[in-house]
Chain A
Amino acid sequence: MSTVTIDKSGPTRKVKYGSMSRDRTWALRWSYFFLTLFAIFSLVPPLYMLITSLKGSAEISAATNPWWVYHPTLENYIQLLTSNQFLRFFWNSAWVSIIVVTITMLISVPAAFALARMKFWGSATLATGVFLTYLIPDSLLFIPLFKMFAVIGDWTGVQLINRWYVLLFIYPTLTVPFCTWIMIGYFASIPKELDEAAIIDGASWFQTLTRIFIPVALPGLIAATIFAFTVSWAQFLYPLVFTTSTDQLVLPVGIITTLIKGDVFNWGQIMTGALLGAAPPLIIYAFLMDYYIAGLTAGATKG
Chain B
Amino acid sequence: MADVSLRKVVKRYDEVEAVRGIDLDIADHEFVVLVGPSGCGKSTTLRMIAGLEDISDGDIMIGGDVVNDVPPKDRDIAMVFQNYALYPHMTVAENMSFGLRLKHYPKAEIKSRVTEAARMLDITDLIDRKPKQLSGGQRQRVAMGRAIVRNPKVFLFDEPLSNLDAKLRVQMRIEIKKVHQKVCTTTVYVTHDQVEAMTLADRVVVMNHGRIEQIGTPNELYHKPATRFVASFIGSPAMNFVPCRLEDVGGKLNVRLTDRLSFPLPPARAARYQGLSRTDKLLLGLRPEHVMEARPHAEPGIEPFDAVLDVTEPMGMETLVYFTLEGSQLCGRVNPNAGAQDGSPLRLAVDLNNMHLLNEVTGAVL
With A203-B102, A207-B102 already in contact, the answer to whether A197 and B79 are too (CB < 8 A) is yes
Interface size class of A (residues with CB under 8 A): 10 to 19
Decide if A23 is an interface residue (CB 8 Å cutoff): no
| Bound CA span A137–B355, Å | 77
Q: Is the CB of B81 within 8 A of A196?
A: yes
The chain B residue with its CB closest to the CB of A196 is B52
Cβ contacts under 8 Å, A215 to chain B:
89
Q: Is A212's beta carbon under 8 Å from chain B?
A: yes
Q: Which of B77, B89, B102 contacts A216 (CB 8 A)?
A: B89
- A202 interface residue (CB < 8 Å to B): yes
Besides the known contacts A196-B52, A202-B103, 8 further A-B residue pairs in the complex with CB atoms under 8 A apart:
A194-B87, A196-B50, A197-B79, A198-B98, A200-B79, A201-B102, A203-B98, A203-B102
Separation in Å of the B238 CB from the closest CB of chain A? 32
Judged by a CB distance under 8 angstroms, whether B73 is at the interface is yes
Chain B residues contacting A196 (CB-CB under 8 Å) are 50, 52, 79, 81, 85
Tell me, yes or no, whether B78 is within 8 Å of chain A by CB.
yes
Q: Does B216 count as interface, using CB distance less than 8 angstroms?
A: no
Q: Are B52 and A191 in contact (CB under 8 A)?
A: no
- Report B139-160 CB contacts with A as 1/0, cut-off 8 Å: 0000000100010000000000
Could you say which residues of chain B place their CB within 8 Å of the CB of A193?
81-83, 85
Complex Cα distance, B146 from A196, in Å, reads: 14
Interface flag for B251 (CB, 8 Å): no
Decide: B89 and A202 in contact? CB cutoff 8 A: no
Q: Which residues of B contact A199 (CB under 8 A)?
A: 52, 71-73
A194 neighbours in B (Cβ, 8 Å): 85, 87
Q: In the complex, what's the smallest C-beta–C-beta distance from A41 to chain B, in angstroms?
A: 40
Contact between A191 and B83, CB atoms less than 8 A apart: yes
B21 within 8 A of A: no
Secondary structure type dominating chain A contacts: helix
In A176-202, which residues have CB < 8 Å from any B CB? Answer: 191, 193-194, 196-202
Shortest distance from the beta carbon of B80 to any chain A beta carbon, whole Å: 9
**A201 to B51 Cα, complex, angstroms:** 12
Give A86 to B251 CA distance when docked, in angstroms. Answer: 115
Find out whether the CB atom of B50 lies under 8 angstroms from the CB atom of A200: yes
The distance in angstroms between the C-alpha atoms of A203 and B150, with both chains bound, is: 13
**Nearest chain-A residue to B88 (Cβ)?**
A216
Q: Bound state CA distance, A196 and B51, in angstroms?
A: 10
Cα–Cα distance between A233 and B353 once the two chains are bound (Å): 86
Asked whether B81 lies within 8 Å of A201 as measured between CB atoms, the reply is no
A-B contact count (CB 8 A): 55
Shortest Cβ distance from residue A188 to the other chain B in the assembled complex, whole angstroms? 16
The minimal Cβ–Cβ distance linking A207 to chain B, given in whole angstroms, is 7
Can you list 24 residue pairs at the A/B interface with Cβ under 8 Å?
A193-B82, A194-B85, A196-B50, A196-B52, A196-B81, A196-B85, A197-B79, A197-B87, A198-B98, A199-B52, A200-B50, A200-B51, A200-B72, A200-B99, A201-B73, A201-B102, A202-B73, A202-B99, A202-B102, A203-B73, A203-B98, A207-B102, A211-B98, A216-B89
CB distance A191 to B85 under 8 Å?
yes
Give chain B residues whose Cβ lies under 8 Å from the Cβ of A201: 73, 98-99, 102, 146, 150
* B73: A residues at CB distance < 8 A: 199-203
Contact of B87 among A200, A202, A216, A218 (CB under 8 A): A216
Query: Counting chain B CB atoms within 10 Å of each CB, which of A194, A201, A212, A216 scores highest?
Result: A201
Q: Which residues of B contact A203 (CB under 8 A)?
A: 73, 98, 102
Q: B50: which A residues are within 8 A, CB to CB?
A: 196, 200
Residue of A nearest to B143 (CB): A197
Contacts of B85 on A, CB cut-off 8 Å? 191, 193-194, 196-197
CA of A196 to CA of B143 in the docked complex: distance in angstroms?
A: 13
The residues of B that contact A218 with a CB separation of less than 8 Å are: 89
For the complex, give the distance between the alpha carbons of A207 and B51 in Å.
18
Kindly list chain B residues whose C-beta atoms are within 8 Å of the C-beta of A200: 50-52, 72-73, 77-79, 99
Interface residues in A122-156 by Cβ distance below 8 A to B read: none
Interface residues of B in 56-92 (CB under 8 A from A): 71-73, 77-79, 81-83, 85-89
CB of B102, distance to nearest CB on chain A (Å): 5
Q: Which residues of B contact A202 (CB under 8 A)?
A: 73, 99, 102-103
- Of A196, A203, A211, most B-chain CB atoms within 10 Å: A196
Q: Please, which residues of chain B bring their CB within 8 A of the CB of A198?
A: 87, 98
User: With the chains together, A186 CA to B82 CA distance in Å?
Assistant: 22
B86 neighbours in A (Cβ, 8 Å): 197
Q: Give Cα distance in the complex from A203 to B73, angstroms.
A: 7
User: Which residue of A197, A200, A215, A216 has the most chain B CB atoms within 10 A of its CB atom?
Assistant: A200
Q: Scan B312-353; emit 1 where CB is below 8 A from any A CB, else 0.
A: 000000000000000000000000000000000000000000
Contacts of A211 in B (CB 8 A): 98
Nearest CB on A from B100, distance (A): 9
A216 vs B95: C-alpha distance in the bound complex, in angstroms?
13
What residues of A have a CB within 8 angstroms of the CB of B89 in the complex? 215-216, 218
9 pairs of A and B residues whose beta carbons are closest in the complex: A193-B85, A201-B99, A202-B73, A197-B85, A215-B89, A193-B81, A202-B102, A200-B72, A200-B79
Task: Report yes or no: B52 in contact with A197, Cβ–Cβ below 8 A.
Answer: no
> Could you tell me the distance between the alpha carbons of A196 and B50 in the complex, rounded to whole angstroms?
10
Within 8 A of B (CB), among A202-232: 202-203, 207, 211-212, 215-216, 218
Contact mask for chain B residues 211-230; partner A; CB cutoff 8 A; 1 contact, 0 none: 00000000000000000000
Considering the chains assembled together, what is the distance between the CA atoms of A216 and B85 in angstroms? 12
Closest B residue to A192 using CB positions: B85
With a cutoff of 8 Å between Cβ atoms, the chain B residues found around residue A197 in the complex are 79, 81, 85-87, 146
| Residues of chain B with a CB closer than 8 A to A212's CB | 87
**Separation in Å of the B158 CB from the closest CB of chain A?**
9
CB distance from A274 to the nearest CB of B (A): 40
Residue in chain A with minimal CB distance to B50: A200
Distance in angstroms from A294 CB to nearest chain B CB is 14
